[in-house]
Amino acid sequence: MEQSTAVVFFTGFQLRDIWYLAEAAGRTLLISIISITVGSILGCVFGWMLYSSKWLGAMTLGLVLDAFRSVPLIIQLILFFNFFPIIGVPLDPFTAGTFVLTIYTAALVANVVRGGIEAVGIPMRRSSRSLGMSYWQDMRYVVWPIGLRAVFPAWVGVALGVMKDSSLVSVLGYVELLRASQILITRTQEPFIVLAVAGAFYFALSYPLSKFSARLEGKWQS
C-alpha cells in the first residue's frame, strides 16, 4: 500500500522536465537581463558622479553603494522584500528581486565605470579639451571608447556574476532555474540528475560569454 502511494507522488525525471527547467532558465535570463541593463545604466551615472564629485560623491553615494557591496545579496533581498510592506507597498517576489538586483548591479558597475574613467589618463583628457572639444564631447568621443575597452572584461564579469547571483531571488519565492530544480527534486527524488541539468543550463548561459570576453580582452591587449 505504501509503495503505491509513493509511486503516485514521486515520478521519475522525464524529458518534459527539461522543458520545465528551460522555462525557468528563461526566467533567470529575464530577471538578469532587466537588472543588468537598468543596473548598468544607473551604474554608469553613479560611476560618473563618483568620479566627478570626488569628496561629496564619496561621502554620500559612495557610502551607500559600498554598503550594497559589503552586505550579502541574500540579506539585501530579504531586507527589501520585508521593507516594502512596511512602507505600505508590498511587492511581488519578481519586482522586489529585480529591484534589489538592479541596485546591486549598479553598485558594482559604478565602481567599474569609475575605474574606466580613471583609466583614461589626464593628459589625454586635457589634450582633447585643448583641441576644442566640450566636456561632453570629450566624454563621448575620448573617455567612452578608451575607458570601455579598459573595463569591458570587468563589466562582463559583473554581468555574469549578477546572472549567477539571480539564483538567490529564489529565497523570495520567485521560481527561477535553481528554485525550479528544487521543486523537481522534491517530486522526482533524483537530486543528482536534476541538479546536473540545472547546472548545465547555468553553464550554457555563462560559459560562452566569459570565453567571448576573454578572447576580446586578448585581442584588445595585443
**Residues at the site binding another protein, with contacts judged by CB under 8 A:** 67, 70-76, 78-79, 82-83, 85-88, 160, 164-165, 167-168, 170-171, 178, 181-182, 185, 190-192, 195-196, 198-199, 202-203, 206-207, 210
Q: Which is nearer to another protein, 80 or 144 (CB)?
A: 80
Q: Which is nearer to another protein, 24 or 139 (CB)?
A: 24
| Cα gap 216→14, rounded to integer Å | 39
Amino acid at 8: V
Terminal Cα-to-Cα distance of the chain (whole angstroms): 70
Query: In the complex, what is the shortest distance from the CB of residue 19 to another protein, in angstroms, rounded to a whole number?
Result: 20
Query: In the complex, what is the shortest distance from the CB of residue 77 to another protein, in angstroms, rounded to a whole number?
Result: 10
Q: Which is nearer to another protein, 149 or 190 (CB)?
A: 190
Query: What ranges in 71-143 are assigned the alpha helix state H?
Result: 73-86, 93-119, 122-130, 135-138
Q: Which is nearer to another protein, 139 or 169 (CB)?
A: 169
Query: In the complex, what is the shortest distance from the CB of residue 192 to another protein, in angstroms, rounded to a whole number?
Result: 4
| Cα gap 157→154, rounded to integer Å | 5
Query: In the complex, what is the shortest distance from the CB of residue 43 to another protein, in angstroms, rounded to a whole number?
Result: 18
The three-point CA angle 33-37-39 to 5° equals 115
Question: In terms of C-beta density within 10 A (0-12 exposed, 13-18 middle, 19 or more buried), how is residue 205 classed?
Answer: middle
Q: Which is nearer to another protein, 73 or 143 (CB)?
A: 73
Query: In the complex, what is the shortest distance from the CB of residue 131 to another protein, in angstroms, rounded to a whole number?
Result: 36
CA 66 to chain centre: 16
